[in-house]
Structure 1
Amino acid sequence: MANARPHVSRRPPPELEPQPDGSLRFQGHVFEATIRPDGTVAFVDAPPVQGNGVGLTFDITDRIERAVGNDPYAYERRWFLESTQELRDDLASRHRDHAARRGVVLVWRQAEAIWTSGRLAAARRRALFELWDACDEDQRMVREAILDFIRAALPEDSAEAYTPAELRAYAARRTSRAPFTPY
């Protein structure tokens, strides 16, 4: 039997129960796990003392492992996380995409509010630049939405457009690494 393959059993994936809030719940024998709609996971360990209908059960090994700083359920958590990795990555990606789209809609509304505020055109242009410059470096979609708004509301050939002097001044004082290029 030297050439015999070792026996490897396949464990079925965790059974996830959809929840009304969009999360997914797993009830295991040692913990409950919740996968949130953004792909993050929260674990809640089963109580150390449990009733089984006849009496109480208590796992002394869990207490000893915890006392020396170990997680007695690390293997189970790892299995759960590895089994749900693809699902959680997909949820996280969809959540980020949704948040980015929502951010684009919100920033467009902010830009409209700035532009229709009734202030002097130079002050409104400065406020639009500041809105763009305040974006985090990884918010490219949001920044691009601001630039799209500028191109639509105050095109380069209009009387409301940024002047070359304004663009130079904003380039000199921007905090962003990205250049401010509305045109």
Structure 2
Amino acid sequence: MNTKVIIQASSQSNRNTQKVVNYVNQNNMFDVIDLATKKIGHYSYEYVNAHDDFLPLMEDVITKYDTIIFATPVYWYTMSGTLKVFFDRLSDLIRIHKDLGRQLRGKKMAMISNSAENDRRNGFDMPFVESAKYLGMEYLGDVHTFFCGDEIHEEAKKKIDEFRENIVR
């Protein structure tokens, strides 16, 4: 069983983010969860989405994995809307399911972003770094990947290889 998981958070399952995830996971060292296959509603103070896929997913993730890697395209200079909704729902683990949320302490987090160009802006990683800190997780770092046409750029592949090595140590 893998103890590391990549949570893929693109609005489209079979595009560039998946190419990056497949490249990172070419040796099947990670399990992969595609958020596009889940029904996760927006955060609600009234907890109206209590019966969607978020809580069962988080119970599974927290039970099985010690390292969580988020993979997101860059949309409008930030993480995908899919991942933002997921991050907002972490509030459920702070307000309502506190015992489950506390189990994130000591786990590890990392992030992979991708776009058509090598143009990720400074500060993109801040929500990941600060969320890890707030939740008591260790932030392992991040890598930005980019494309040359339909293929991952060779320079980005080298960065991914270094990132993967740091994560699996």
Q: TM-score, normalised by structure 2?
A: 0.28
Q: TM-score, normalised by structure 1?
A: 0.27
User: Between Structure 1 and Structure 2, which shows a larger proportion of helix residues?
Assistant: 1
Higher relative contact order (CA closer than 8 Å, sequence separation 6+)? 2
